[in-house]
Amino acid sequence: MGLRKVYRLKDREVLALDDVDLNVRQGEIFGVVGQSGAGKSTLLRCVNLLERPTQGTVSVDGEDLTAMRPARLRAARRRIGMVHQHFALLSSRTVAGNVAFPLEVAGVAPAQRKRRVMELLDLVGLADRARAYPAQLSGGQKQRVGIARALASEPKVLLSDEATSALDPATTESILELLGDLNRELGLTILLITHEMDVIKRICDSAAIMEAGSVREAGRVLDLIGTPGSLLARSLFPLPPTDAPDAVALTYPRSYDEPLMSELTRKFDVDVNVLGGAVETVSGQSVGRLNVQIRGINRDAALDYLDGKGLLVEVAGR
């Protein structure tokens, strides 16, 4: 809450976080998007206090981390796992050795450690690669090791710093699926940062858009998409600019049973011409944006009808 981070350099100051408030609900997957330099990584490092915020507080599970003494903070930080973009594995240790590392640091006895490592590798689908070294693994497998290691201390919260950015699309998909499963099966709260809108679309319940150290928009993904002027809707479903006359941008914030476009032509005798757009499943709902040309004498009534149905209707200049 009220997070502010100023980096003091020799000749200037960089305001990396400017009064950032975020509320991540327990058990949800929360995605933070933004351009490079927006402050996403700084935010993540401040959440587990790898970096001290210049001002503001960070609470996890109702406890204010920023007010804790070092010993308590160390214990609290074990409840926060972290996954990195470039995996950050120890190349001289096997897969099992990497996952065991945080358990060794925490003083877990060898027999228990071994059992826990196998459980974790099973969880991420890598039980048969326990003796392999990181160099022998694919990118997706390395990230699975990173995730198993992050889960070793049974965290309640997982922070993910661009976990899929170094992976190809199919591998990205399988890692996102794994994160979704862990969220559901373990009740794990996940705070992830990404520059890929697809990640938000695929697994996030809530999202925030950051720009120049500030949060521009935050909330549940479906609520945001249904908000007039939503930046998130525009970013998730970018529409190419059109100079077609009578073009309208329609945002569908939920699934509709009725065939709205054919209803329009029937009820209002207008011509409807779809120019482009995308409809996809987000949080289990079919949502999307379309550019359509709607022409005819009853055009205004047709647009009001769509508005009444809960679609967002954006007409240039209206």
Ligand X SMILES: Nc1ncnc2c1ncn2[C@@H]1O[C@H](COP(=O)(O)OP(=O)(O)OP(=O)(O)O)[C@@H](O)[C@H]1O
Q: Which parts of this chain interact with ligand X (CB under 6 A)?
A: 7, 9, 14, 16, 34, 36-42, 195
Strands (E), the chain: 3-8, 13-20, 29-34, 59-60, 63-64, 80-83, 157-161, 189-194, 206-211, 214-220, 247-252, 271-282, 285-295, 312-315
Q: Which helix (H) or strand (E) holds 117?
A: helix 110-123
Closest CB 125 distance from ligand X, rounded Å: 28
When the beta carbons of 41 and 94 are compared against ligand X, the nearer one is: 41
How close are the terminal C-alpha atoms of the chain, in Å? 37
How many CA atoms lie less than 13 Å away from 296 in the CB half-sphere? Answer: 17
Cβ–Cβ under 8 Å, residues 117 and 103: yes
The residue among 103 and 208 lying less far from ligand X, judged by its C-beta, is: 208
Residue (8 or 318) nearer to ligand X, CB: 8
The residue among 196 and 263 lying less far from ligand X, judged by its C-beta, is 196
Q: Residue 85 CB, nearest distance to ligand X (Å)?
A: 9
For residue 178, the minimal CB distance to ligand X (Å) is 22
Least separation, in Å, of the C-beta of 170 and ligand X? 23
Give least dist CB 223 to ligand X, A: 24
Q: Is 7 or 256 the residue whose CB approaches ligand X more closely? A: 7
Nearer to ligand X, 14 or 90 (CB): 14
CA atoms within 13 A on the CB side of 16: 20
Work out how close the CB of 47 gets to ligand X at its nearest, in angstroms, rounded to a whole number: 12
Q: Hey, is 99 helix, strand or coil?
A: helix
Q: Which letter does DSSP use for residue 237 in this model?
A: S
Q: Least Å distance between CB 51 and ligand X?
A: 8
Three-class secondary structure of residue 146 per DSSP? helix
Kind of pairing, strands 214-220 and 189-194?
A: unpaired
Q: Which is nearer to ligand X, 79 or 84 (CB)?
A: 84
Strands 29-34 and 206-211: parallel
The answer to whether the beta carbons of residues 124 and 144 sit under 8 Å apart is: yes
Cβ neighbour number for residue 194 with a 10 Å cutoff: 23
